[in-house]
């Protein structure tokens, strides 16, 4: 069985501030982990993925995430928020031969 | 990666009617997935569609309500049958391109049932 928990359904940051979106996972096998972004009225776009290679993963738009097995975490960060980062972000676990399970999402608000 | 074209992008339907959503991929894929995203919620997998076999439905979803076709390796349809306001959601198709690309999603169909 596998699951993800995203802490905080809404996060607000000031433009230029650090973005930190939290994700903890549970998986009975070594996990594949993903972060997706959904802009209003659009589908999901893959930001980055962890597939058992480097634990620090860099994605698009300046985002990165670090896989920490001891903490079962895969938090998403960006050093400096931009107005265009306002969207909903989903953490997901699975892939390969396993069904992908999505977290409940975190809406990021960027305050000018 | 792949490009997924999904249509319609949105529709407003009367209760009791049916809507068929189309998903076209620009490359051949083995598995296609249909998700539902209810207002303010995360994605829930409806079913997995493999070409040449019956779709596999997740718990809580049945073929009579959500019939799926998968006639070839680039195309699939999802029908939402006998709609009620509770079916108002975003429906998304997705393909698995392997771990190098993750799951790729269509832009979604925003369905409102009145």
Mind spelling out the 3-state secondary structure of chain B? CCCEEEECCEEEECCCCCEEEEEEECCCCCEEEEEEECCCCCEEEEEEEECCCCCEECCCCCCCCCCEEEEECCEEEEEECCCCHHHCEEEEEEEECCCCCCEEECCCEEEEEC
Q: Classify strands A106-111 and A10-14 as parallel, antiparallel or unpaired.
A: parallel
B65 contacts chain A (CB < 8 A): no
pLDDT at B99: 65
Give the pLDDT confidence of A68-77 residue by residue, as tens digits: 999 999 999 9
Give the pLDDT confidence of B83-109 residue by residue, as tens digits: 999 999 999 999 887 766 678 888 899
Residue A66 has pLDDT above 70, yes or no: yes
Mean pLDDT of chain B: 92
Q: Classify strands A98-102 and B31-37 as parallel, antiparallel or unpaired.
A: unpaired
Q: Is A101 helix (H, G, I), strand (E, B) or coil?
A: strand
B59 contacts chain A (CB < 8 A): no
Q: A98 pLDDT band (50/70/90 cuts)? A: low
Pairwise CB contact (< 8 Å): B42 & A49: no
pLDDT at A30: 78
Cis omega before residue B68 (within 30°)?
A: no
Give the pLDDT confidence of A6-36 residue by residue, as tens digits: 999 999 999 999 999 999 999 877 788 999 9
Ranges A45-54, A75-84, B35-44, most confident: A75-84
Identify which has the larger pLDDT, B51 or A111: A111
Mean of pLDDT values over A64-89: 96
Residue A95 has pLDDT above 70, yes or no: no
Distance from CA of A9 to the nearest CA of B (A): 10
* Residues of chain B where predicted confidence (pLDDT) is lower than 50: none
Residue A96 has pLDDT above 70, yes or no: no
A59 contacts chain B (CB < 8 A): no
**DSSP 8-state assignment for residue A62:** G
Residue owning tokens 């985002």: A63
């Amino acid at each position: 069985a596998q699951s993800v928990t995203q802490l905080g359904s809404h996060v607000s940051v000031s433009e230029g501030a650090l973005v930190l979106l939290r994700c903890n996972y549970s998986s009975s096998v070594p996990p594949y982990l993903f972060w997706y972004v959904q802009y209003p009225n659009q589908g999901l776009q893959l930001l980055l993925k962890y597939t058992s290679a480097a634990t620090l993963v860099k994605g698009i738009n300046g985002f990165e995430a670090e896989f920490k097995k001891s903490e079962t975490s895969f938090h998403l960060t960006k050093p400096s928020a931009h107005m265009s980062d306002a969207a909903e972000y989903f953490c997901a676990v699975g892939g390969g031969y396993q069904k992908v399970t999505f977290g409940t999402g975190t809406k990021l608000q960027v305050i000018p | 990666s792949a490009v997924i074209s999904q249509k319609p992008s949105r529709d407003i339907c009367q209760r009791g009617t049916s809507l068929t959503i189309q998903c076209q991929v620009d490359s051949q894929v083995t598995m296609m997935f249909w998700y539902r995203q209810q207002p303010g919620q995360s994605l829930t997998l409806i079913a997995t569609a493999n070409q040449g076999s019956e779709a596999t439905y997740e718990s809580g979803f049945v073929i009579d309500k959500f019939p799926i076709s998968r006639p070839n390796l680039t195309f699939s349809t999802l029908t939402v049958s006998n709609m009620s306001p509770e079916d108002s959601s975003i429906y998304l198709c997705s393909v698995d391109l392997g771990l190098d690309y993750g799951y790729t999603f269509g832009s979604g169909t925003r369905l409102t049932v009145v």
